[in-house]
Amino acid sequence: GVSILLVAWMAAEALGFSPWLQYTLLALFIALVAVPVFYAAWTVVKPFHLPVVMTAAECARAADVIYKHSTREVLAPSPDDCAVCLERWEEGDTLTELPCGHMYHPPCVRACIAGSLPLRSKHANNLTDVVEAVCCPLCRRPMVADPERVVRLMRRKKAVLY
């Protein structure tokens, strides 16, 4: 298939066929040969992605941005236990509520976010994937509704150099 197209194109050029026919043969060659070859090469190379590398300082700054833009402070409605530290909170204590509705002590949520970033970054292709993977420690629902917006904020605040 490949050699036939190349031979046909060279023959068309040698025989003085119109440029339109020559370019048609070239377009067929590109569509039938070059595109599939590049696609095959891309599928082979794609699994060998480089992980996102974040320093401890970047993880801490990124965790602060994620915390500020994906949680809200609430007062504890009734006494209950924090699912992270298992300590009891009392009615009226200041808690952090995640988008899923689960509530935790503020330091517990910060620790979960900061602790998960280094682990998530090793398995991600880009920073958006890292932010998208940060989730509630109880139900695993993502904490961040708009990861691209949070990544833009992180870059604007120079939380990460990546």
Rounded CA-CA distance 51/119 in Å is 10
Residue 162 pLDDT > 90: no
User: What's the confidence (pLDDT) of residue 36?
Assistant: 84
pLDDT tens, residue by residue, 137-147: 999 999 999 99
| Mean pLDDT of the 56-65 span | 87
* Average confidence score pLDDT of the chain: 84
Rounded CA-CA distance 157/67 in Å is 14
Residue 80 pLDDT > 60: yes
| Mean pLDDT of the 134-159 span | 88
pLDDT tens, residue by residue, 88-120: 999 989 999 999 999 999 999 999 998 888 777
> What percent of the chain clears pLDDT 90, i.e. is strictly above it?
37
Ranges 8-12, 78-82, 95-99, 100-104: which has the least confidence: 8-12
Q: Which residue stretches of the chain are H helix? A: 2-14, 19-29, 35-45, 56-70, 106-121, 127-133, 147-156
Give the residue extent of every domain in the chain.
2-48, 56-156
In angstroms, what CA-CA distances link 162 with 62, 135, 146?
11, 21, 19
Q: Which fold has domain 56-156?
A: Herpes Virus-1 (3.30.40)
